[in-house]
Structure 1
Amino acid sequence: MTTPTGRRERKKAATRQALADAALRLFIARGYDAVTLHDIAEAADVSTTTLLKHFPGKEALVFDEEAEQEAGLVAAVRDRTPGTTIPEALCAHVKRVRVRAEDSDADADYTGFLNLVTNTPALSDYAHRMWMRHQDALAHAIAHDTGVPPDDLRSAALARFALETSALAHRATDPAQAVDIAFDLLERGWGTPAQRPGTGQN
């Protein structure tokens, strides 16, 4: 997140952070559904009206990284190491930012956040919708990198399916392996049974 420079901007950023911190703390302690906007505002020592100036609803209080997510996806394509394909770069990025939640070494705060999101359908759905909103930006980055028009359908399809691998990972026993398998399919295509080791089905 860009560091605010002006006094007013710093104050707004501090209020926003205080609200987000209070919300997460209360959600983890009491459960998402048991906490109201008034509870959060009171914990952050502001009015509910002030809270709503910063966040449109309860879900948004948990996720405050949309711009950073989009910038990261675009950078994964734009700044990838020479010789790395776009699917390879996106596979590594998705595993780093979306599957790290499964890492046993994750800190306690992040583990608490993960458990909250995983066990709260409203938050899981919101997180997925927010992640998928980056499809157009990612598609444009892919199209620009490959020298095709911004509305190129192949670029749009790759962006769509690359982002969807995150949901697949969170339903899998081994999230990282699930991402690898999905991106291998995106990179190489379906192929024939003989080309797909470990299976006799097409």
Structure 2
Amino acid sequence: MKSVYEGGEAEIVEKKSRFIATVRPVKDEAEANAFFAEMKKKYWDARHNCSAFVIGQKQELTRSSDDGEPSGTAGRPMLDVLLKEGVTDAAVVVTRYFGGVLLGTGGLVRAYQQAVSAGLDACTLIEKQNGMRLQIRTDYNGLGKLQYLFAQEAVPVVDTQYADSVSIEIVIPLERDQAIRKAITEKTAATAAIDEIGECVFALKNGELMFFA
């Protein structure tokens, strides 16, 4: 599931109407509602400030508002974009300044969805994963084999300590935990020691490893 790490803003113009999409990460419904109120205050002179949010690891909590647009032409289509893109813990407001030309039902749906897509493109998105942190202890003969394995399997390395032996801390998605442990054992002929540090939630952002509470 994707999360918004850094929010963004984008604007599209459709038949002289301006659609300004503002996307923000949110942790709960109260935070989403506060964001909606903030946007309505900022764009107090706009015709509409339509909104939607998705919260929860399984996108279980959702809300949307047409804010005066014809029913089903704004809030729900905006929400559908968030759901389809697999985004969670995010809220979006699309502000519309009416350009004097009616768009019709289909035109409104397309415009609001395009605005949300543009807003998401302006954000920094990350994909949080449930993982297991492991400490691997090996001799120097096993080091190269493990480094090759981790590179081949795209296993993030948190830290490496060099002493009489080598200690490597890695993080693995939970669904790959057993498979990677088996591969470590096979590559080192069962000479590497594997210790659990504990479960975690992590993400990669431009190759940078990030952990979350």
Above 0.5 in TM-score? no
Name the one with the larger helix percent. Answer: 1
Q: Which has the larger radius of gyration?
A: 2
Q: TM-score, normalised by structure 1?
A: 0.26
Relative contact order higher in (CA < 8 Å, ≥ 6 apart) = 2
Q: TM-score, normalised by structure 2?
A: 0.25
Name the one with the larger strand percent. Answer: 2
